[in-house]
Chain A
Amino acid sequence: MSAGKRQRPMPAHRRGRLLKAVGPPLGGVASVLSLLCTTAPCRAQEATHTPAATQPAAGGFYVRQKLQYLGFGNDPSPEQREIDQIVSTTTLTYGLRRDMSLSLALPVVYEEKQQGGSTGREVGVEDLSLTFKYRPVQIDLGPIDSVRLAVLGGVEFPSGDGDFSSHSLDPFLGVVFTAILGRHGINQSVSYKFNTGGDEFAIRPGDGPDDALRYDTAYLFRLSPKEYAADTEASTYLTVELNGLYETNGDNEVLMGPGILYEARSFALEAAIGLPVVQDVRHRPEVDVVITLGLRILF
């Protein structure tokens, strides 16, 4: 079989998921294992933290597994907590039509909290999110070049898991623009979440009781190959992202950072880092750093 050629029967993919909410040291290990063992599909040309106007084919689906480390500082709550989180987010996306898709995301969190000389460790399930994406504009200019615009809407469902859940139904709406021209790609996204509840001392950005406006920009540059050919089996991208979040209580935070994306025919691997460049936060802890590893598999 020549390079790039696919033949029947399709190889069967095995799926496994080892994520279990277990004890403190094992929480992170379980998350790592879940990252390595979960198989599923992918959206292409999508940077790590910024959505893109892309989706699987009609009837196809992909799974994306992200593992994030978040370090927080300057907690304004009376407890003055020092917090670290490892978040494992599994996202399933199904292509309803060529221009419509539905995604379900399940975030599991391992958290270490230090306050008053003691350390607390917890594992829990954050709110689940269901996202509907519709792409009314797609202009394919050439074999590679494409310009797309999608609208998205959805809702975050309460997981009901103690402090990890907002215990409220929070809808959101947004717009995503994607342009791919040769080796360059740009994704631009704006979304607004109507928070109908939430903890006054929520830790994660956008999880408090105030509404949240998320604005994201990503630039992707294809490092290799310089030119696609008949035998191209994979490509590697350098990404730079600017991820902002404004909350209606006045908090505003922008993270910026580089990343790398390796895309093969049926899977992709990604890694990215986010560091604060704008931080005007008074109602929740500041984000010191976000480190993300990810795997996407296309079925």
Chain B
Amino acid sequence: MKTCHTLAAIVLGASFLLSAGCSSGSADHAVPTAAAIAESDQTPVRGREAVLTVYGMSCPLCANNVDKTLLQVPGVQAVRVDMGTGRATVTLDGTTPVTRGQLARAVDRSGFSLQRIEAP
């Protein structure tokens, strides 16, 4: 009986992992398409500041995930998140070029949904 359970568990586990791996592409479509479009955007942010509207930051720790991933983008100097409006204000150092796509990919990696990027 226990052997059957073990086998069943292994089969279920394997199918679970396979389904996760095979659907990795579709997982990206679960977030708003605005994010996917922006990720390929090579348009440089020309000013010193960009404002990103992000959905799903429901708590302070969530906001911190966005902070951290945006700060990993070369050229990003500071990030300020307003959880009430979902707006993340990104300050650039002005020396390293930053594209909209880089900012969009950072938000995607944080696990939240980018709605809009406002930048010069």
Q: Interface of A with B (CB < 8 Å)? A: 1-2, 4-8, 10, 42-45, 54-60, 95, 97-100, 132, 134-146, 151, 153, 155, 169, 171-173, 180, 185, 194-197, 209, 211, 227-230, 232-235, 263-266, 268, 296, 298
If A4-B82, A6-B78, A146-B58 touch, does A56 touch B27 (CB 8 Å cutoff)?
A: no
Interface magnitude class on chain B: 35 or more
Q: List 7 A-B contacts (CB under 8 A).
A: A4-B81, A98-B111, A194-B8, A209-B2, A227-B84, A232-B60, A265-B63
**Which of A143, A194, A268 lies in contact with B61, CB distance below 8 A?**
A268
Of A171, A180, A263, the residue contacting B6 (CB under 8 A) is A171
Bound: A203/B86 CA distance, A: 47
**In whole angstroms, what is the CA distance A146 to B30 when docked?**
12
B109 contacts A by Cβ under 8 Å: yes
**Cβ of B56: which chain A residues have Cβ within 8 Å of it?**
138, 140, 143-146
A99 vs B23: C-alpha distance when bound (angstroms) = 11
Contact, CB under 8 Å: B6 / A194? yes
- Is B62 among interface residues, defined by CB-CB distance under 8 A? yes
If the complex has contacts A56-B65, A138-B31, are A8 and B71 also in contact, measured as CB distance less than 8 A?
Answer: yes
Q: A140-B55, A146-B56 are in contact. Are A2 and B111 (CB under 8 A)?
A: no
B62 touches A194 (CB 8 A): no
Q: How far is the CB of B16 from chain A (nearest CB, A)?
A: 5
Q: Say whether chain A's binding surface is mostly helix, strand, loop, or mixed.
A: loop
Cross-chain contact B20 with A100 (CB below 8 angstroms):
yes
Q: How far is the CA of A274 from the CA of B66 in the complex (A)?
A: 34
State the Cβ distance, B59 to closest chain A Cβ, in Å. Answer: 4
CB of B84 within 8 A of CB of A229, answer yes
Q: Report yes or no: A180 in contact with B58, Cβ–Cβ below 8 A.
A: yes
- A60-B65 in contact given A144-B58, A228-B83, A235-B59 (Cβ < 8 Å): yes
Q: Across the interface, which residues of B come within 8 angstroms of A232, CB to CB?
A: 60, 83-84
> Nearest A residue to B85 by beta-carbon distance?
A143
Do B12 and A173 touch across chains, with their CB atoms under 8 A apart? Answer: yes
| Given A7-B78, A228-B84; A173-B9 close (CB under 8 Å) | yes
Q: Across the interface, which residues of B come within 8 angstroms of A228, CB to CB?
A: 82-84
Most chain A CB neighbours (cut-off 10 Å) among B5, B60, B67, B68: B60
A146 to B76 Cα, complex, angstroms: 27
Interface pair B112/A140, CB less than 8 Å apart = yes
In the complex, what residues of B have CB within 8 A of residue A265's CB?
60-61, 63-64, 67
A181: nearest chain-B partner, CB-CB? B58
Instruction: Kindly provide the distance from the CB of B106 to the nearest chain A CB, expressed in whole angstroms.
Output: 9
From B31, B61, B79, residue with most partner A Cβ within 10 Å:
B61
A137: chain B residues at CB < 8 Å are 30
- Distance, CA A6 to CA B5, complexed state (A): 50
Residues in chain B near residue A8, CB distance under 8 A? 71, 76-78
Closest A residue by C-beta to B59: A44
Nearest A residue to B56, CB-CB: A140
A95: B residues at CB distance < 8 A: 111
- Seed contacts A6-B64, A8-B76, A153-B13; 6 additional CB < 8 Å A-B pairs: A42-B61, A54-B62, A143-B55, A153-B17, A173-B16, A233-B60
Chain A residues near B76 (CB, 8 Å)? 8
Which residue from chain A places its CB closest to the CB of B113 in the assembled complex? Answer: A140
Bound together, the chains give a CA A60 to CA B82 distance in angstroms of: 21
Is B6's CB under 8 angstroms from A57's CB?
no
Known A-B contacts A8-B71, A142-B86; A57 and B65 likewise in contact (beta carbons under 8 Å): yes
How far does the alpha carbon of A142 sit from the alpha carbon of B112 in the complex, in Å? 11
Asked if B109 contacts A59 (CB within 8 A), the reply is: yes
